[in-house]
Each structure stands twice: as structure tokens, then as C-alpha cells.
Amino acid sequence: MIIRSWLFVPGDSEKKMAKGRENAADALILDLEDSVSDDRQDIARELTLAFLKANPDRSRQQLWVRINPLDSDLSLPDLAAIMGGAPDGIVIPKVKTAADINRLADYIRILEIREGVPEGQTKILSVATETAESLLTFPTYLENVTPRLSALTWGGEDLSAALGASSNRNPATGGYDDVFLYAKSMCLATARAVDAQPVGVVYVDFRDLEGLEAECLRDRQSGFIGKAAIHPAQSEVINRAFTPSDEEIEHAQKVVQVFEDNPGLGTVGLDGKMLDMPHLKQARNTLELAKQIADRG
Ligand code: COA
Ligand code: MG
């Protein structure tokens, strides 16, 4: 299922989790990592499990959990604590190589069996660019990565710290600096190569909804589907930006139609423009995306 908006909610805040449940986000990411302080880890695990159990119907909004990085002592207790709530997926931060994803998949499988969760149900979202190593190991995703991996996203904040950068911005343009754009590009290409959903990065200035919308449209143009959010006001903007408009759907239908009307032709004309196979593929993608969004109701 396509998830447009992924809203991070601190896993130790009952109030924010309740608020998140009423929000338009297609998925919540209940966070046990950076938004929870060490002395609140136990209470966060308890509250997150209770929230998952209290909300078994995920048809409108999925519930994912971000655990701590695998090389931290917190990660396995996080996972063991919450799997009984049957989260739709696990978000794994500070990944170093795809071997981390496969290791997580093994842990998840054992816990699914222990908890009576259908085997294979729990998906994985990799936060694929938060360590220096991660920028050098993208090809490992192409070596038999687990089919649980359903989405990849990138991060500019932890990566700055990992690289020793004092800012992730290019002072001349205000946009991301080179190495961060590299991370973004590799995330997109790798996600597409393994048939996972490429998810756009968090827009940290959460009061600037116009800036968020512009970045969503830019992400979508590049090939990303959906975006992570940190504030409830961001979800509707993201949903709108990643939903094909009526005009886009109509155009895509025309493109598919003109190829159907001309079987055997690889290139056709429509409204004075040349169309070939990439345009047909793009049109089919748009219609598939629109259908998946419509089906979720
Ligand atoms: N999920 C659910 N509810 C949230 C929320 C979130 N991520 N962020 C804010 N809210 C709630 C607030 O509790 C507040 O509720 P109220 O009106 O009932 O009091 C309302 O939305 C408006 O919030 P606002 O006052 O505009 O923001 P804030 O100053 O309370 O919070 C942040 C700002 C950044 C601390 C907050 O948005 C947050 O915790 N974001 C998630 C951070 C996170 O998970 N980071 C890790 C991933 S990078
Ligand atoms: Mg972080």
C-alpha cells in the first residue's frame, strides 16, 4: 500500500499519539529513538505497545515503530517489547549496510512467531543515509535484501553529524549541499532498484507549509512517493502533493488509450507531442498510484 504521509510521533507521549490517530497521516511512526530521552525508554515502550494494541484497525492509518539503531543495546529490547502490538512495520535508523536490514528481518521473524503475528506481515522502512558507511554501501541492497523492505528514506540531520558537517545547506543556494544531494539521489535510485517506495526527507521547518509543499512537489517530480512529517499540520499538505490531480489522471488515461488504439507502435503522437515507452510507463505509474490512493478510501 502506498503511504503518502508518515508522521513521527514521540512514543512516550500518550497525548501526541492520540492526536496522531485523528490526523490525516497515512501512517504514524511511533518513535522510540531520538525523540525519547534515555530515562523514558521503558515508559515509551509500554505506552507504544498499549497504543498499538488499542488500535488494531489499520485500514485508514498504519502504525509503524522506529526502534533504536541495531548497534545500540536498546534496539532488541525495543523490538521485543512492541512486536506483540503487531506494528505494520519497523523503521530502522542509522543503517550501515543492507546486512542490517536482513538481520532485523530475522529478529522480526522470530518475534512474529512468538507473538502469533502472521509471518512476513511486518514491513521495514530503512532510514538509509544517517551514517558515513551508508553512503558507501548502497550496492549491498541489490544482494538479496529481504522482501520485508518496503520503503527507504534518507536523512540530512544525523548525516551532518556523522560527516562532521556544521550545516547541511549550500550557502549559495539555501538548498542541500552536495553530499546530501548525493545521499538523496542514492536513496531514490536504490529504492527504485529494489522495488521499494522512495520516501522524501522530513521538512524540518514545520511552520513553513508553503516551503513544505514546494519541496513535496520537487520530491515527487524526482520520483519520490510520500514524505516523512514531524508535525500534524504537515500531513494534509503532503497527502495533497502526492495525490495525482484530476488533470494528471486524465492525461495519463489519454496516453494509455492512444497506445491501446495503436497496437504494435512504440512511438505515437498526442496533442502534437511525441510519446514513447517511458511516457507509457509513467502514465501507468500515475494511474496505479491514483488507484492505490482511491482504494484506501
Ligand atoms: N504528533 C502528534 N501530535 C503532535 C505532534 C506530532 N508529531 N507535534 C505536535 N503535536 C501536537 C501538540 O501536542 C499540540 O497539541 P495540542 O494543540 O493538543 O496542545 C499540537 O499538535 C500543536 O503543536 P505545536 O504547539 O504547533 O508544536 P509543539 O511545539 O507542541 O511541538 C515538536 C513541536 C517539534 C516538538 C513536535 O512537533 C514533535 O514532537 N514532533 C515530532 C518530533 C519527532 O518525532 N522527531 C523524531 C523524528 S525526526
Ligand atoms: Mg534522528
Residues lining ion ligand 2 (Cβ < 5 A) are: 34, 158
In terms of domains, do 109 and 35 share one?
A: yes
Single pTM value for the model: 0.96
pLDDT tens-digit profile of 240-295?
Answer: 999 999 999 999 999 999 999 999 899 999 999 999 999 999 999 999 999 988 88
State the distance from the centre of ligand 2 to the C-alpha of 1, rounded, in angstroms. 25
Asked whether the beta carbons of 104 and 92 are under 8 A apart, the reply is yes
Q: Please tell me what DSSP assigns to residue 12.
A: T
pLDDT tens-digit profile of 23-66?
Answer: 999 999 999 999 999 999 999 999 999 999 999 999 999 999 99
In terms of domains, do 70 and 203 share one?
A: yes
Distances (CA, A) of 147 to 91, 150, 262: 15, 7, 37
Q: Is 242 helix (H, G, I), strand (E, B) or coil?
A: coil
DSSP per-residue codes, 185-210: HHHHHHHHHTT-EEEBPP-S-TT-HH
pLDDT tens-digit profile of 96-125?
Answer: 999 999 999 999 999 999 999 999 999 999
31, 153, 231: residue to mutate for ligand 1 pocket, most atoms within 8 A of CB = 231
In terms of domains, do 272 and 204 share one?
A: no
Q: Is 77 exposed, middle or buried (0-12, 13-18, 19+ CB in 10 A)?
A: middle
In terms of domains, do 45 and 172 share one?
A: yes
Q: Within 13 Å and on the Cβ side, how many CA atoms surround 287? A: 14
State the distance from the centre of ligand 2 to the C-alpha of 270, rounded, in angstroms. 47
Examine the fold and report which residue of 241, 256, 271 is the final residue of a domain before the chain moves on.
241
Residue nearest atom 14 of ligand 1, based on CA coordinates: 16
Number of structural domains (the chain) is 2
Q: Please tell me what DSSP assigns to residue 136.
A: G
Range of the domain at 283: 246-296
In terms of domains, do 74 and 59 share one?
A: yes
